[in-house]
Amino acid sequence: MTLAAAQHSTRARRALVQLASEDPALGALALWCTHRDAATGPAARTEGTTIHYGPAFETLPPHEQLGVAAHHVLHVALRHGARMGAMGARLGARFDRDIYALAADAVVNEALLAAGYGLPRPAVTLQLLLGRALGRPAGADALAEWDVDRLYLALTGQGGGRRQGPQDGQALDHAPTEAARQIVTETGFSPDLDMRAPDPESPENADEAALWRQHLARALEAGRLAGRGIGTLGHRIADIPAPRIPWEMLLRRALSRALIEGRSPGHTRPARDWIAAEALARATATPTPGFRPATLRRRSAPRIVLAVDASGSVEAGLLDRFAAEVAGIARRLSAEITLMAFDETVHWQQRMDPAQWAQTLSKADWPRGGGTDFGPPVAEALRMHASALVVLSDLDGPFGPAPRSLPVIWACFGPPPGDGPPFGLLLDLGK
């Protein structure tokens, strides 16, 4: 494939030719993008795998045209539009498209500046967001630590950590978002990324993600071997998507297995094949077979117990996300949800209407302080004959003995302390 065949933008032709000459990695990735001239709009804008170049692109000096083209090629290669759509589907009405676009620009700009590109000023960078909005030291390894999803969740106060209580100062819940919006105002930032909303479970989306991982791996290796351009940073860019299964999908699978219609022996009724075998034995004067009970279907609705660590280790935004996912699963599987608050003991429990989960959470009285002990919620779930127990916590506490007949799903944000839970399924909500 030639560069001329791969792109159809007159405005960006010179920049793309220079990109192919100076940066083997981005030059190769540009071949997989569609390039179009736009009649109006900003200097450039990414829509899926298409980059639109507006009239303002021609007014930029050549080195900034090169940087803007590289910026949008990286947006496409890192699938920021599709990932924005997936995050929007996950968070619903609480999703902020502008903050996500800001996070995506910060990661891309940081990588390009580290590779020696020039960008139109002022440019939002990862170092700027970490220092101004999150109050974190902006080290040289920031690119290796932060991807766009994690940065977005941190900027919107949904990235895990301790729930902010009155004694901690509620204003801290929104400080990162307010600081990010101030940066938007100061820099005149305008989103240059359109959101796509693919089905995260569709084969087409999985195939597209796998294809772009292949493109990225090959292009970055070519750049590394050439010793110039973005390829020299490939191993330091945490935003390069890695193949993984989202925690939401893992949770759905685990709960579906736990809630599948159960069967149990009914000793008051014989099995049908035993009736036939017993009749045959009498007719032929042979020994009567041993009694076999019938298998009865479970008639009561399955019950999910969602136990939330109320010791202060679960941040409110994360709880909202997780409870919404559990409520959606319960609706699809016709299951009953019992919400439970615990620390060293179970403080209260309440049956939830899956359609009213947001109101239930907003009115809940969450205890503060105290340690954590997982024995009481496990024991209470067993007493309730729960079909599955889901525990949302930082997993810092004694687990107690493993229950013999209760599927347990542990959900935490980031790696658990120590060796983690000795039984059950572990979900890392930070992935």
CATH number at residue 378: 3.40.50.410
Same domain, 112 and 162: yes
Can you give the pLDDT at residue 3? 45
Question: Quick check: pTM over 0.85?
Answer: no
Number of domains in the chain: 3
Whether residue 69 contacts residue 19, with contact meaning beta carbons closer than 8 Å, is answered with: yes
Same domain, 286 and 371: no
Residue 59 inside a domain? The answer is yes
Can you give the pLDDT at residue 354? 73
Can you give the pLDDT at residue 5? 39
Same domain, 218 and 273: no
Can you give the pLDDT at residue 90? 75
Same domain, 111 and 140: yes
Residue 249 inside a domain? The answer is no
Residue 342 inside a domain? The answer is yes
Same domain, 291 and 309: no
Can you give the pLDDT at residue 70? 96
User: Nearest 5°: CA angle at 64, between 59 and 65?
Assistant: 65
Same domain, 181 and 277: no
Residues of the chain with confidence (pLDDT) below 70: 1-7, 138-140, 158-175, 197-206, 242-248, 260-267, 295-300, 312-322, 324-325, 328, 332-333, 368-369, 430-431
Residue 216 inside a domain? The answer is yes
42 — alpha (psi -120 to 50), left (phi > 0) or beta? Answer: beta
Same domain, 278 and 198: no
- The residue range of the domain holding 293 is 269-297
Same domain, 187 and 336: no
User: Nearest 5°: CA angle at 113, between 111 and 187?
Assistant: 100
Residue 260 inside a domain? The answer is no
Same domain, 288 and 310: no
Same domain, 203 and 332: no
Residue 307 inside a domain? The answer is yes
Can you give the pLDDT at residue 378? 95
Same domain, 216 and 161: yes
Residue 139 inside a domain? The answer is yes
Same domain, 228 and 93: yes
Residue 248 inside a domain? The answer is no
Name, in order, each residue with C-beta under 8 angstroms of 284's C-beta and a sequence gap of 6 or more: none
Whether residue 228 contacts residue 357, with contact meaning beta carbons closer than 8 Å, is answered with: no
